[in-house]
Amino acid sequence: MDPITIDGAYGEGGGQVVRSVVALSLVTGRAVRIENIRAGRPKQGLMRQHLTAVQAAAEVGRARVEGDEIGSRALTFRPATVKPGNYSFHVGTAGSATLVLQTVLPALLMAEAPSKIILEGGTHNPWAPPFDFLDKTFFPLVNRMGPHVRAELSRYGFYPAGGGKFTVWIKPAAALTGFDLLDRGEITSHRARAIVANLPRHIAEREMRTIAGKTNWEKRCFAVEEVTDAAGPGNIVLIELESPHVTEVFSGFGRHGVRAERVAADVLKEAREYEEANVPVGPHLADQLMLPLGVSAYQNVPTAGQVGGAFRTLSLSTHARTHLDVLRQMLEIKTDVIEGDESCIVKLGSG
C-alpha cells in the first residue's frame, strides 16, 4: 500500500507535524511520507531532536525509514509491529527528551506488554513541555484512559546544556477509553516553585517574592529549589493550579537579560488568564490531549467505554489547529471546534 503523504509545510509547519505523523503511523500501522519538513522554520529539515524521535519510533515499531538524517526535508516511515520492552533514547543535545517520549508513547500505551523508557537530553527547555507538566498534568489524564504511566526525574537538563535524564514506566491497556473534560470546578490549590541550577539562589527567591506580592496565596504555597548536578545553568518558574478534574502547570524560563521579576510575572499572567477563563484545559494541554483522544476515537472499541471525547479550552493556537488537521488526515476521524466568545469546545470522534 502506498504511504499517506503529509505536507510538513501545512499550517504551523514545525516539528510537531513530524512527531505526530510518526506517532500515528505506529498506532495505525500505516506507512507515511512527510514532505517539506519544517518548511515554516528558518532552519528547515530535521534537527537532532526530530531525528532522535523518528529513530526512537523506528526502533519501537521495527520500521523501515528513508530520509532519516539531519537536514532531511522528506521522510518515509513504514512501521511493522510495535514491540514493548526496555528502551533508552539519548537526544545528545538540549533538544527535548519529553517530545521524543511523546512520539513513542501513544503506541506503547496499547502494546501487548509493559515498557520502560530511559530518556536523556533536555527535560526543561522553553520550546517543549517540561517534565513537570507531563508528570502533574498530562500523565494523570492519560491514566484516566486505561493505561498507567508513571515517571521519575533523576537529573535536570536545562537549555542549552541539556544532559537531563528521566525514566518512564508504561503499563498498557487494550484500548484507550475517551472522556469529556468540559468543566473545571473551583481551583482548590495554588503552588509556585522556582528552580535554579548552577545560578544564585536569590534569582529563585525574587521570583517567588514577585508572585507572593501579586497574590494572596499562603506562604506554604511557595518553594525554592536549588539543583547542583545539572550540566549547565538554568532557571524555571512553575505554577500549579489544582482543580477537581485537572491540575494545570504553567512555566516560564529565565533568560539572559530578563529580570527574574519579569519571568515570574509572565508566568503568573498566563496562570491568571487560565483561571479567569474558567476552562479546564489550558492552551498547552489542549495540544497534548488531542492525540490520545483522537486515538480513542480511531479505535472505536465500544467495550473500552467512551470512544473519543471533548474538552473546553481557550481559543486554539495555530499550532493546535495544525495538530488537529494532522489527526483528521491520519486517523480519518470526525473533529469539530465549537467556538465561543472567549473559549471553544474541541470534539474528537462522533460522540
CATH of domain 189-277: 3.30.360.20
Q: In what order do the strands lie in the sheet with 234-242?
A: 222-227, 189-197, 234-242, 247-253
Summarize pLDDT for 191-209 with one digit per residue, the tens: 999 999 999 999 999 999 9
Domain extent listing, the chain: 1-80, 84-173, 176-183+279-351, 189-277
pLDDT tens per residue across all 351 residues of the chain: 688 999 887 766 678 889 999 999 999 999 999 999 887 777 888 988 889 999 999 999 999 999 999 999 999 999 999 999 999 999 877 788 999 999 999 999 999 999 999 999 999 999 899 999 999 999 999 999 999 999 999 999 999 889 999 999 999 999 999 999 999 999 999 999 999 999 999 999 999 999 999 999 999 999 999 999 999 999 999 999 999 999 999 999 999 999 999 999 999 999 999 999 999 999 999 999 999 999 999 987 666 678 899 999 999 988 899 899 999 999 999 999 999 888 999 999 975
Tell me the catalytic residues: 319
- Vertex 293: Cα angle to 95 and 290 (nearest 5): 45
Using an 8 Å Cβ cutoff, are 141 and 94 in contact?
A: no
What is the residue type of 107? A
pTM, 2 dp: 0.94
Kind and range of the H or E run holding 151: strand 148-155
Which three three-digit cell numbers place residue 337? Answer: 471546534
As a whole number of angstroms, the longest Cα–Cα distance in the chain is 61
Q: How far apart are CA 80 and CA 28, in angstroms?
A: 10
Query: Do residues 227 and 198 make contact, with C-beta atoms less than 8 angstroms apart?
Result: yes
CATH 3.90.25.10: does it fit domain 84-173?
A: no
The answer to whether domain 84-173 and domain 189-277 are alike in fold is no
CATH dotted code for 1-80: 3.30.110
CATH number of the structural domain 176-183+279-351: 3.30.110
Contacts of 25 (CB under 8 A, 6+ apart): 31, 32, 57, 61, 63, 77, 79, 330
